[in-house]
Amino acid sequence: MRNKIQPTKIYCARWVIPVTRRTIEDGAVVVAGKFIASVGTRAKLVAQFPEASSEDFGAAAIIPGLVNCHSHLELTAMRGYLEDVEGDFFAWLRKLTIARMTRMTQDDLRVSATWGAFEAARAGVTCVGDASSWGDASMAALRDVRLRGIVYQEAISPDARMADELLSKLRVDVARLRELETELVRVGVSPHSPYAASEKLLEGVTDYALAAKLPLMIHAAESEAEDKLLKHGCGIFAESLARRGIEWRSPRMSPIQYLSTRGVLVARPLLAHCVRVDTADIELIKEACASVAHCPKSNLKLGHGHAPFDRFLDISKGFGSDSVASNNTCDMLEEARFATLLARLNRDEEGGEMYTAQHALTDATLGGARALGYEEQFSALNVGAEADLTIVNLDGAHQVPVHDPAHALIFSSSARDVALTMVAGREVYRDGQVTTIDEERLRARMAEIREKVTGDK
């Protein structure tokens, strides 16, 4: 079985990019069990480990595993389903919620999440930060495909009268999900956003996260509608709350200020989006040691604009695809390319540090892992680290000639160029196959779910 942990093996490629130090030409990584035993030149390591088998990937780069800091795997079945309402964020959320809540069974959510994890594995993603309405689906998906990650169980309702009930339910959900935790997959919590969680729920979930030492993720400062509700108490979200008879007093401040004054930033949350943040907001994020999941493609596709990413240089940050309902792919190399191009668009004409391909590669790997709260146990190619790595072919017509592999990865490459994905020493994807799942069975179920989601069945 290919998905078994292998004996000591030397993976060789034209380039090895450890991220934390210089690129190694004609390099190799020795993997022993689930750990990296050595990183260096191919010639040196083949001599040093004469008993080990070796495999040469040729004109390719070995990099640390790519990290997707913000996804909604359970929504994978919504890919391409919401384009007709993209101009109206409220209608978009409503159409998505109706389909998820009324047309998909728990097994559908699980299959949808597993297809998302399958896509991630093919894209060289080894670690995921996933927000989920029913965490069991994402836990199962990550466990089945054998990716690493944190599943943030969501709590959603802007109605303060629901807060106690939702908090009790969250505790029950988390207790159940903790039973499903593995060495690779952990549980977190997510009060959905400042606009979809009441103040009471926000504070309650934060207190719970701090007491139970659970990682916390929240959507923040994503849209104009959210901005208007928080700062002025008007706009489409305010109108919807009024129509539903939900009392929601506008704090008259920015979403980040609001999260700060309500104590949410004390939990050092992962903040998804941060499109609409000013200098004071960025300072608050930095002071709180919170981190940001930057989702440039989703933000652009939904017309929310783009985050001032060039001003996030001192903040812990990684990239997120968001759901493929708003992307439409899980492709962190492409996400990194968009981030790099947009950072340059924003660049201060007075000068300021240029955001480079090397920066983007670091944020797509090590940066993302740190943003999710991991130390360096797997996120850089270091001896003793768990072997999470991705091998990307760099010999395509769209990549040749390669002058610098980091430039080729960020500016010329995409998920489709990934040759191998390894998590904790286990080959999860290679030779076009995800080794851990039955692709055809899953594909047939996705076709069924597509019919159900659209209401045709």
| SS3 label, residue 104 | coil
Pairing of strands 389-393, 418-423: antiparallel
DSSP conformation letters of 28-40: EEEEETTEEEEEE
Q: Which residues in the 251-280 window bind Zn ion by CB under 5 A?
A: none
Backbone phi and psi for residue 456, each to the nearest 5 degrees, phi listed first: -80, -10
Cβ of residue 113: shortest distance to Zn ion, in angstroms? 14
287 and 41 Cβ atoms separated by less than 8 Å: no
Residue nearest to Zn ion (CB): 322
Whole-number Cα distances in Å, 299 to 19, 95, 320: 27, 18, 11
Closest distance between Zn ion and the C-beta of residue 369, in Å?
19
Whichever of 273 and 445 has its CB closer to Zn ion, that residue is: 273
Measured from the CB atom, the residue of 12 and 267 that comes closer to Zn ion is 267
Considering CB under 5 A, how many residues would be counted as binding Zn ion? 1
- Smallest separation, CB 192 to Zn ion (Å): 9
Residue-by-residue DSSP string for 52-83: SEEEE--SEEEEEPEEEEEE-GGGGGGTTTSG
The residue among 74 and 322 lying less far from Zn ion, judged by its C-beta, is 322
Question: Measured from the CB of residue 275, what is the shortest distance to Zn ion in angstroms?
Answer: 12
Residue 322 or 331 with smaller CB distance to Zn ion: 322
344: its two tokens: 């340059």
Footprint on residues 288-327 left by Zn ion (CB under 5 A): 322
Which residues, including other chains, have CB under 8 Å from residue 407's CB and lie 6 or more apart?
357
Nearer to Zn ion, 233 or 305 (CB): 305
Please report how close the Cβ of residue 274 comes to Zn ion at its closest, in angstroms: 12
Contact 428, 146 (CB under 8 A): yes
Q: Which residues pair with 38 in a beta bridge?
A: 30
Structure tokens given for 79: 């890919």
- Write down the least CB distance from residue 404 to Zn ion, Å: 33
Residue with Cβ nearer Zn ion (61 or 117): 117
| Angstrom distances, CA of residue 111 to CA of 191, 253, 261, 359, 430 | 24, 40, 39, 35, 22
Structure tokens at 320: 């997120």
Helix (H) or strand (E) holding 273: strand 270-273
**Residue 148, SS3?**
strand
Q: Which positions from 321 to 360 touch Zn ion by CB under 5 A, shown as an x/- string?
A: -x--------------------------------------
In the complex, the smallest distance separating the C-beta of residue 100 from Zn ion, rounded to whole angstroms, is 13
Least Å from the CB of residue 381 to Zn ion: 30
Which CB atom, from 73 or from 428, has the smaller least distance to Zn ion? 73
Residues 201-230 that bind Zn ion (CB under 5 A): none
Taking the least distance from each CB to Zn ion, the nearer of 82 and 420 is: 82
Distance CA(219)–CA(446), nearest Å, equals: 27
Residues that bind Zn ion (CB under 5 A): 322
